Amino acid sequence: MSVRHFLTLKDLSKSELKQVIARATELRKMQHAGDIYQPFVGRTLAMIFEKSSTRTRISFETGMGQFGGQALFLSPQSTQLGRGEPIEDSARVVSSMVDIVMIRTFEHEKVEKFAEYSSVPIINALTDDFHPCQLLADMQTFHEHRGSIEGKTVTWVGDGNNMCASFIHAADQFGFELRVAAPYGFEPNPHLVEKYKHCVSVMESVEDASKDSHLIVTDVWASMGQESEQNTRAKRFNPYQVTPALLDKAAPDVLFMHCLPAHRGEEISIDLLDDPRSVVWDEAENRLHAQKALMEFLLQDKIKL
């Protein structure tokens, strides 16, 4: 069987995504019950981080440990990756020794190239273009709080960034309507919007985009790698702060999500994470369960029952 990768949400079919999310909820319950389940004894996950991380590193490393395997943290500073060893060579070597690899980097093309030369599954743990692992946790969290997201309306507020692009994929894969409210010049990739226009629309007015919405989501105004643009972006994004008053314009059962880290007083008001409609802490925890389900799915041929 050919190796399966998870570079975007489009790498799994709609039914496979549903299966992974249902399994994530099962794994959450097992973890909370204190069950020991170790299908990955003797297996290794390599974790390549070219950008910072709290949630992604802890969830992958802990998840692999809970499954009985081990995780290796690899940074460019401490490996030859940072000294120019070609991706093709690194991919061949790393994948000859480990069972699965996750990569957080800048250019999306890097994870594509790594996958092309890897003999084991590659997981995209965030690139400049997509953050599909976060969407697994987000979809799991919505499902656990409100049931199926199919046919619902979701509002993305702010930068048309990597998270927004993965929400566009999710709209198609999970069957919801996505409204993106972004300032002019910061809209999501127009090719993606055109390709998925059956489920995505872009508008400038946050109020219009939020009306009757079932889920409101935002993210930082300047992503990793854009730190020098922080001040200019802050001026443009100022009208796009998500507040409890904005949630009041949405459906009565609206939820609020943010992949975190959040900047209180910028993309969200100081009080938003304390609003009962915010589910960001469940969303963060679900990174653990969703990625365990994903690794179990990608390594299903290697699991000994």
Q: Which of residues 154-183 bind ligand NVA (CB under 6 A)?
A: 161-163
Cβ proximity to ligand NVA, 41 vs 58, nearer residue:
58
| Spatial CB neighbours of 47, under 8 Å, sequence gap ≥ 6 | 57, 60, 61, 71, 72, 73, 74, 101, 102, 125
Distance separating alpha carbons of residues 242 and 178, to the nearest angstrom: 17
Pairing mode, if any, of strands 100-104 and 122-124?
parallel
Q: Does 259 bind ligand CP (CB under 6 A)?
A: yes
Q: Does 288 bind ligand NVA (CB under 6 A)?
A: no
Q: Does 50 bind ligand NVA (CB under 6 A)?
A: no
Residue 134 designated active-site: yes
Nearest to 69 by CA among 43, 33, 92, 34: 43
DSSP state of 220: -
Query: What does the block give as tokens for 252?
Result: 């009565």
- φ/ψ (deg, to 5) at 83: -115, 20
Given the residues 108, 214, 219, 258, select the one marked as catalytic: 219
For residue 125, the SS3 value is coil
Q: Does 246 bind ligand NVA (CB under 6 A)?
A: no
Distances (CA, A) of 52 to 81, 95, 123: 16, 23, 17
Residue 104 designated active-site: yes
Cβ proximity to ligand CP, 59 vs 241, nearer residue:
59
Residue 271 designated active-site: no
Number of residues that bind ligand NVA (CB under 6 A): 10
123 contacts 6 by C-beta, under 8 angstroms? yes
Least distance between ligand CP and beta carbon 92 (Å): 27
Pairing mode, if any, of strands 177-181 and 200-203?
parallel
| Spatial CB neighbours of 51, under 8 Å, sequence gap ≥ 6 | 104, 105, 106, 126, 224, 225
- Which of ligand CP, ligand NVA, none sits in contact with 54, Cβ below 5 to 8 A by type? ligand CP
Least distance between ligand CP and beta carbon 285 (Å): 12
Least distance between ligand CP and beta carbon 303 (Å): 26
Given the residues 23, 43, 55, 104, select the one marked as catalytic: 104
Q: Which of residues 247-266 bind ligand NVA (CB under 6 A)?
A: 259
Q: Does 290 bind ligand CP (CB under 6 A)?
A: no
- Which of ligand NVA, ligand CP, none sits in contact with 161, Cβ below 5 to 8 A by type? ligand NVA
For residue 4, the SS3 value is coil
Query: What does the block give as tokens for 105?
Result: 């980097």
Site string for ligand CP, 41-60 (x = CB under 6 A): ------------xxxx----
Binding site for ligand CP (CB under 6 A): 53-56, 126, 134, 259-260
List the catalytic residues.
104, 131, 134, 219, 259, 287
Chain contacts with ligand NVA (rule: CB under 6 A)? 126, 131, 161-163, 219-220, 223-224, 259
